[in-house]
Amino acid sequence: MIVSLGLLASFTIAQAQAAQPLDSIAAVVNDQVITNAEINTKVNLIESQLQASNTPMPNPAALRTQVLQQMINETLQLQMASRYHLKVSKEQLEQALQHVAEQNGLTVEELYQSAEKNGFTVASFNKELKKEILMQMVQQQAVSSRISISEEEVDDYLANLSKNQQGNSEYDVADILITLPDSPTPEQVQQAESNALKVVQQLKQGTNFKQLAIEVSGGAQALQGGDLGWRKLAELPTPFVPYAEKMKANQVAGPIRTPNGFHVIKLLGVRSVADSQGTPDEQRKQVEEMIYEREFNQALLNWIAQLRAQAYIKIY
């Protein structure tokens, strides 16, 4: 079953209850509890997937911390969805099931069978998929309004594309982010840069990138080994572009400073894609969508950071 860790790792069977023994509580997010049992379920699933892909196991404590941080982010987004009174309709769930099944080359029935092999019932699978849909809905509502793509941005991209054959290529980039807080002190910047340089050194010494990303990255794709997936240059974070377009497969670059922190990136691969044969208007629409996705991903990170800053979060 080919499903991203981001999807499967969010599937939990154990649910937080109103009354939990104190030693089973891992964290409290506003008025909701995250239990150690829930964390264990996700950790076990991720470890099984890493083992199946022959990826070296990350440090257990680091993996557990990453899973907990992801669960905190998910909880905050679902709380916002509840505040917005968002609901998932039967039609939306059916469309999502069909989409996930098609992505994996399966029928919906085969998708359910595969999920059951991973320990899920049909009901628990549907419940977790609804959570994914709710998070997408609240992200669109809270983040999309912050994004505006100008005609000049589209013009600039098209002009550069016509002069650059690499516009017909897609890049698979993985990212390790050493985060910085808002308004960091010089000492915090220096420490983050030092940590990023240590990451570069570990990679030069042969440490597996995916393993290290799971252990130390503060990026949204940490539990996917930092893999951003196949993207055109316009879809990559802008600071990555000058590096990605010059790198060869399996090369590492960084640290790269951004407002969020210091990034270390690895080019996993490059592939050619067919030229768009659409009309000029269709090409502009495609470019707008690529730029939008890039801006949306950055705005999403900023929004989640704001949610965390405004929330009551206690980790036990």
C-alpha 153/C-alpha 186 separation (Å) is 33
CATH class of 5-145: mainly alpha
Give me the phi and psi of 92, to 5 degrees please. -65, -40
Residue 15 has what pLDDT? 37
Residue 167 has what pLDDT?
56
Instruction: Note the pLDDT of residue 8.
Output: 42
SS3 of the chain: CCCCHHHHCCCCCCCCCCCCCHHHEEEEECCEEEEHHHHHHHHHHHHHHHHHCCCCCCCHHHHHHHHHHHHHHHHHHHHHHHHCCCCCCHHHHHHHHHHHHHHCCCCHHHHHHHHHHCCCCHHHHHHHHHHHHHHHHHHHHHHHHHCCCCHHHHHHHHHHHHHCHHHHEEEEEEEEEEECCCCCCHHHHHHHHHHHHHHHHHHHCCCCHHHHHHHHCCCCCHHHCCEEEEECHHHCCHHHHHHHCCCCCCCEEEEEEECCEEEEEEEEEEEECCCCCCCHHHHHHHHHHHHHHHHHHHHHHHHHHHHHHHCCEEEC
Determine the Cα–Cα distance for residues 135 and 74; give it in Å rounded to an integer. 7
Six token digits for residue 63: 């993996």
Domain boundaries along the sequence of the chain: 5-145, 151-290
Query: Given this model, what pLDDT does residue 10 score?
Result: 39
- Long-range contacts of 239-242, Cβ-Cβ distance < 8 Å, separation of 24 or more: 239/263, 240/173, 240/175, 240/265
Count of CA atoms in the C-beta half-sphere (13 A) of 100: 25
What is the third-level CATH fold of 151-290? Chitinase A; domain 3 (3.10.50)
> Mean pLDDT for each consecutive 10-residue tract of the chain (316 residues)?
39 40 82 94 87 88 94 97 94 94 92 86 92 94 88 84 65 95 91 97 95 93 92 87 92 93 96 70 85 86 91 96
Residue 19: Cβ within 10 Å count: 5
Per-residue model confidence (pLDDT) at position 108: 94
If we measure between CA atoms, which residue out of 73, 76, 81 comes closest to residue 219? 73
